[in-house]
Structure 1
Amino acid sequence: MIIERAYAHLDADSREEERWPWSVPCVRGLLADGLRFTAPVTFLVGENGSGKSTLVEALAEGFGLDPYGGSHDWQYASHRPKSALGERIRFDAAPRGRRMLGSWAARKGFFLRAETALDALDREGFAPHAVSHGEGFLAAFRDKFLHPGLYVMDEPEAALSFASCLELIGHLNELVKNGAQVICATHSPLLTALPGADIVEVGEHGMRRVAWSELALVDHWRRYLADPRSYLRHVLD
């Protein structure tokens, strides 16, 4: 573990609380209570628009990773400014992470966002365009996700097949065995089934920890696979 808690504060006299992103329930939860990390892998799950991508991008920015995506070696190479939330994110270090959080030069990690991942890898001298989209993702996991550090991901399953998602689970497991910490926003019931992972569900309620078997996305997939017509009739009829 590298970080134990993330939090943010607004100035006492700030009038920003009703504006985005401060109006997003999970961000309000971050302001009120912070987000504790209790396992080496944390999955953030929720519907589109719930704020999970906003949250993971800000966590990456707060750690010093480029919001466009990429490794610690390419901080702000895209010249994208930090988000308002990313500027205010702070961390409480875990014992093993104190040196890393105490020095910008010591911070190691990678921010992978689905829509910019291949461009970010190409920028760093990796050549993912020589293979398929999904193969490029997996090659990045093999070649870039190796060392202790903070690895933040936004929907990495977007380019992956069922089998490739299973391979990614194996990569994540090896990564944390080597001393890394992973924070991942996802819609995947496959990824969230990683044993020992912490799952935080975000939505109108803010943030809450949920067991895999109790996730709404797991329930919906089970029911859809058992009887697709029960869902499709609402779309097709």
Structure 2
Amino acid sequence: MIVDRAYAHLASLDAEEWPWSVPCVRELVGDGLRFRSAVTFLVGENGSGKSTLVEGLAEGFGLDSWGGSHDWRHSSHRPRSALGERVRFDAAPGGRAMLRSWAARKGFFLRAETALDALDREGFAPDSVSHGEGFLAAFRGKFLQPGLYVLDEPEAALSFTSCLELLGHIDSLVKQGGQVICATHSPLLTALPGADIVEVGDHGMRRVAWENLALVEHWRRYLDDPQAYLRHIL
């Protein structure tokens, strides 16, 4: 693992001001987030703050908020967010050398909204392939060495089979010393053996076993009886 704990360094905060009004961000300022596994999944409803959280973690590590590898940090000319400016990390034993030097840091930030632009900048020519193939090109070509890899809803462009391929890439990456933090709505991805699952919401952050996730239960019920859900909205 590269990082053992993430936290936000802030002398004082206005709990009514965004992003400090987001419960999971407030908890990052207070207690921080300790990583128990080389793969951490952040799950939660839309608006829960998981994307805000992963973007801040990526920026704090030196990855551009637009997406891409550490070699392209600040290339989008977007200023770091208020959270990204304040995120700090405690190193895991395997990541001390990397965290001591900005130049030594390796990693990639992949966000669904800007992935194609970031991949084009990295030289993957995504116009020549489908959206999902562009994502997989990044996994095949950039997820190759120890570093911190931050993903924001990577399943958005992927089929069921491609999600399984992504899990294979993640598994290979962590076996080589990499670490992954991924915000997702996918019960398929979160089923990765050994992964740590953190649910974010009004409660802040809490760890949940895969079989107890609300998203897993909803998918089970929906696939078993779609009409039980559809009759309330159609």
Which category describes the TM-score, using the shorter chain as reference length? Answer: over 0.9
2:4 pairs with 1:4 = yes
> What's the Cα RMSD here?
0.7
Partner residue of 1:82 out of 74, 80, 85: 80
The equivalences for 1:124-163 within 5 A come to 124-163=122-161
Q: Distance in 2 between matches of 1:144 and 1:181?
A: 13
The runs of 5 or more residues in structure 1 that have no matched partner are none
| Structure 2 CA distance for aligned equivalents of residues 200 and 29 of structure 1 | 13
User: Are the equivalent residues in 1 in contact too, given 2:124–2:137 (CA < 8 A)?
Assistant: no
For residue 145 of structure 1, what is the amino acid of its counterpart? F
The SS at the match of 1:110 is strand
Query: Which residue among 165, 168, 182 is the counterpart of 1:167?
Result: 165
1:69 to 67, 70, 78: 67
Aligned positions of 1:18-97 closer than 5 A:
18-97=16-95
What is the DSSP-based 3-state SS (H/G/I as helix, E as strand, rest coil) of the residue aligned with 1:44?
Answer: strand
* Structure 1 residue 112, shift from structure 2 partner: 0.2
Amino acid across the alignment from 1:41: V
Take 2:9 and 2:91, find their aligned partners in 1: how far apart are those partners?
A: 17
How far has the Cα of 1:10 moved from its partner? 2.2
Residue identity in the other structure for 1:8? A
Residue 9 of structure 1: CA displacement?
A: 2.9
CA distance in 2, matches of 1:53, 1:200: 13
SS at 2:180 equivalent: strand
For 2:10 and 2:100, the matched residues in 1 are separated by: 23
Which residue identity does 1:197 align to in structure 2? A
SS in structure 1 opposite 2:30? helix
Instruction: Answer yes or no: is 1:177 the counterpart of 2:175.
Output: yes
**What letter corresponds to residue 225 of structure 1 in structure 2?**
L
User: Aligned pair count?
Assistant: 234
Counterpart of 2:214 in structure 1 is 216
Q: Provide the rounded CA distance (Å) in 1 between the counterparts of 2:123 and 2:140.
A: 15
Question: What is the SS of the residue equivalent to 2:65?
Answer: coil
Residues 36-74 of structure 1: CA deviation (Å, up to 9, x unaligned): 001000000000000000000000000000000000110
Name the structure 1 match of 2:202: 204
Q: Which secondary structure state, in structure 2, belongs to the residue aligned with residue 84 of structure 1? A: coil
Task: State the one-letter code of the partner of 2:34.
Answer: R
Q: Percent of aligned pairs with the same residue?
A: 81
Distance in 1, Cα, partners of 2:9 & 2:223? 43
Equivalents in 2 of 1:28, 1:131: separation in Å? 40
Please report how far the alpha carbon of residue 31 of structure 1 lies from its aligned counterpart in structure 2 after TM superposition.
Answer: 1.2
Aligned to 1:107: 105
User: What residue ranges of structure 2 are gaps of 5+ in the alignment?
Assistant: none
> Within 2, Cα distance between the matches of 1:67 and 1:222?
34
Aligned partner of residue 83 in structure 2, secondary structure? helix
